[in-house]
Structure 1
Amino acid sequence: MNWLKGNFCNGAARAVLIGAIAALTLGASACTLGGAAAGGYVGNKATDGSAVGTVGGAVAGGVIGHELGK
């Protein structure tokens, strides 16, 4: 997984990628994964690329997606 260490994947993108892999591993539904991806993107853009904003957005989006998928 050397591509995770290169310029292709900065800290925020790496955090979202690892979160998405973890969600898939845990058997998350499509709504949860889609919400996490959308939330991570919005969080990244709203905080000018902050890793904390990206992860926070992904968590919030995942929760919203999970609730909508019930």
Structure 2
Amino acid sequence: MQSTRIRLTGAVLAIGLLASCGENDFERAAVGASIGGVGSALTGGSAVKGAVIGGAAGALCDDVNLC
């Protein structure tokens, strides 16, 4: 079961990295929230906290020249 979670988490993160090239902050925040929520849920954490952190990271990544 643990290796399945690791594989799924890796797949979600890989897809997210490919799809994270949003055109504006809203698109990047939506992708970040999706990845954060799903990734956190797959690893046994809180999906809501993961979505909030991922959304914030997605919205701000352009401001700090990371994406």
The two structures have a TM-score, normalised by structure 2, of 0.52
Structure 1 segments of 4+ aligned residues over 4 angstroms from their partners: none
Q: Take 2:30 and 2:54, find their aligned partners in 1: how far apart are those partners?
A: 8
Aligned to 1:29: 26
Structure 1 residue 39 displacement after superposition: 0.2
| Unmatched 5+ stretches in structure 1 | 1-27
Instruction: Tell me the TM-score normalized by structure 1.
Output: 0.50
Give CA deviations for 1:5-34 in whole Å, capped at 9, x if unaligned: xxxxxxxxxxxxxxxxxxxxxxx6100000
Aligned residue among 49, 52, 68 for 2:61: 68
Percent identity over the alignment is 28
Q: Within 2, Cα distance between the matches of 1:36 and 1:56?
A: 9
Q: CA RMSD in A?
A: 1.6
Paired residues, number? 39
Deviation at 1:46, TM superposition (A): 1.1
Instruction: State the match for 1:57 in structure 2.
Output: 50
